[in-house]
């Protein structure tokens, strides 16, 4: 197989930052790394553009929709949006239509991803009705199971999932909220009051109690923690935890009011300035294991209605790695950023370590470290975001297993290239 060169201003190998560096790629892996002086190459040369290459970004939490929700987003548009944002692997959530709570629905979803995905992917299954179903689903190449707030009232089914996940070595992901602790109806405003932080913490404790009752010890991951106390409690319980760009860098005061309040509606809700600041501090201190987008697209008409009726969630895949880098690179450095968006997510999923040194998979996210502003790139079907117009870095190029699948000037290159990333770990 022929080799190619990719050159950047800064290359993070997984251990060190190299300046004026080139990698030679062959057979989907890094064959050799060169530093300084290599000129006149035939390949992708991004030097002089303030380019930074890090091991490929992994998004632990996305909603690609598809199936009967393809009018919101589908596997092709969502993974193309991911490639345009420098995301190389997405982990898709099971609240589709039909929900991925049966082997039939899961098989249909995997088939659709195989036919359409532009980046690598994996899937979480929902909580099925029986232990036998959970065992069968665990054998289908999934990353793990997702437990939603409404599942926590069915302790027996949750125990089935915990046991099946432990036996298969899979992840269990929790959306941490207990609906019984919500303070009144959702009027669309001040949602951080109606869905308080203690409802998050209670869900973390409840799942631990269910696990203790069955003697189960699977790997448990708490996703989109919106409150600092949720992070601290999760770490005390021995769980991994992620936070989203919107909970880290947006607040309800800043984005949750006015006629576009429906745009910023999300579950868990945006918090106040205090919670946002403390959560970001926990990221810098290393208590948050990963950043994940919770990309949750809807059609524009669904988000333009009254916020009490608008569905929760908004799109992130076209921008979030650059958006996060623009805000954390100064305080965490390149290594800290790569840990949050690439290396730690790989470990959480149980995948091969992310690196860009000789012998490593040639999967890279190449950011351009020049400030621009968030705009709609045209890949995602969702045309709105509360981050519109905010400062961000952009994605210069995305490489997956040695193939350049996106550049900022040529757009998407080639067709379907994604594979089921967790298919080999079972």
- Strand pairing category for 87-92 and 290-291: unpaired
pLDDT value of residue 187: 85
Q: Is 14 helix (H, G, I), strand (E, B) or coil?
A: coil
Q: CATH number of the domain at 4-53+358-412, please?
A: 2.30.40.10
pLDDT value of residue 1: 47
DSSP string, 63-103: ---BTTBTTT--HHHHHHHHHHTTEEEEEE-S-SSS-S-SH
Catalytic residues: 294
Q: Is the separation of the CB atoms in 296 and 315 below 8 Å?
A: yes
Q: Which residue has the tokens 């939490």?
A: 61
Q: Give strand pairing partners of 7.
A: 22, 45
Q: Is the separation of the CB atoms in 7 and 33 below 8 Å?
A: no
| Short-list 393, 337, 390, CA closest to 369 | 393
Q: Is the separation of the CB atoms in 297 and 380 below 8 Å?
A: yes
The secondary element (H helix, E strand) that includes residue 131 is: helix 131-138
Dmax (CA) for the chain in angstroms is 65
Q: Which residue has the tokens 């919106």?
A: 226
pLDDT value of residue 39: 75
pLDDT value of residue 295: 98
| Short-list 402, 426, 424, 400, CA closest to 79 | 400
Which residue ranges of the chain lie beneath pLDDT 50? Answer: 1, 426
Hey, what CATH topology would domain 57-349 get? TIM Barrel (3.20.20)
Tell me which long-range contacts 129-132 makes (C-beta under 8 A, separation of at least 24). Answer: 129/101, 129/157, 130/160, 131/160, 131/163, 131/164
Do the domains 57-349 and 4-53+358-412 match in fold?
A: no
Domain residue spans of the chain: 4-53+358-412, 57-349
pLDDT value of residue 407: 97
């Amino acid at each position: 197989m022929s080799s190619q060169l990719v050159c950047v201003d800064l290359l993070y190998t997984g251990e060190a930052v190299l300046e004026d560096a080139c990698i030679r790629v062959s057979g989907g892996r890094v064959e050799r790394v060169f530093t300084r002086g290599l000129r006149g190459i035939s390949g992708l040369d991004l030097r002089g553009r303030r380019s930074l290459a890090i091991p490929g970004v992994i998004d632990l939490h996305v909603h690609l929709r598809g199936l009967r929700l393809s009018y919101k987003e589908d596997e092709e548009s969502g993974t193309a949006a991911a490639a345009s944002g420098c995301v190389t692997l997405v982990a898709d959530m099971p609240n589709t239509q039909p929900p991925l709570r049966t082997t039939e629905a899961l098989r249909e979803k995997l088939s659709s991803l195989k036919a359409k995905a532009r980046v690598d992917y994996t899937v979480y299954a929902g909580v099925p009705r029986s232990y036998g179903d959970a065992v069968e689903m665990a054998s289908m190449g999934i990353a793990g199971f997702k437990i939603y707030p409404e599942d926590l009232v069915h302790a027996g089914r949750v125990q089935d999932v915990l046991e099946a996940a432990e036996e298969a070595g899979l992840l269990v992901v929790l959306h941490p909220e207990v609906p019984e602790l919500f303070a009144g109806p959702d009027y669309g405003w001040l949602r951080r009051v109606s869905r308080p932080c203690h409802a998050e913490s209670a869900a973390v404790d409840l799942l631990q109690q269910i696990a203790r009752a069955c003697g189960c010890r699977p790997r448990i991951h708490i996703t989109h923690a919106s409150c600092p106390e949720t992070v601290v409690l999760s770490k005390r319980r021995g769980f991994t935890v992620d936070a989203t760009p919107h909970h880290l860098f947006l607040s309800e005061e800043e984005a949750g009011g006015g006629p576009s309040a429906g745009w910023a509606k999300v579950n868990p809700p945006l918090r106040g300035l205090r919670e946002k600041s403390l959560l970001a501090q926990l990221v810098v201190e290393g208590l948050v294991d990963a950043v994940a987008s919770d990309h949750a697209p809807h059609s524009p008409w669904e988000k333009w209605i009254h916020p009490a009726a608008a569905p929760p969630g908004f799109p992130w895949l076209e921008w979030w790695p650059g958006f996060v880098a623009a805000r954390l690179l100064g305080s965490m450095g390149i290594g800290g950023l790569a840990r949050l968006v690439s290396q730690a997510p790989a470990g959480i999923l149980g995948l091969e370590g992310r690196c860009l040194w000789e012998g490593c998979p040639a999967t890279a996210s190449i950011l351009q470290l020049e400030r621009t502003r968030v705009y709609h790139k045209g890949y995602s079907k969702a045309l709105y975001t509360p981050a519109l117009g905010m400062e961000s870095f952009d994605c210069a190029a995305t490489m997956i297993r040695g193939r350049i699948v996106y550049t900022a000037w040529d757009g998407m290159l080639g067709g379907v290239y994604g594979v089921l990333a967790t298919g080999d770990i079972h």
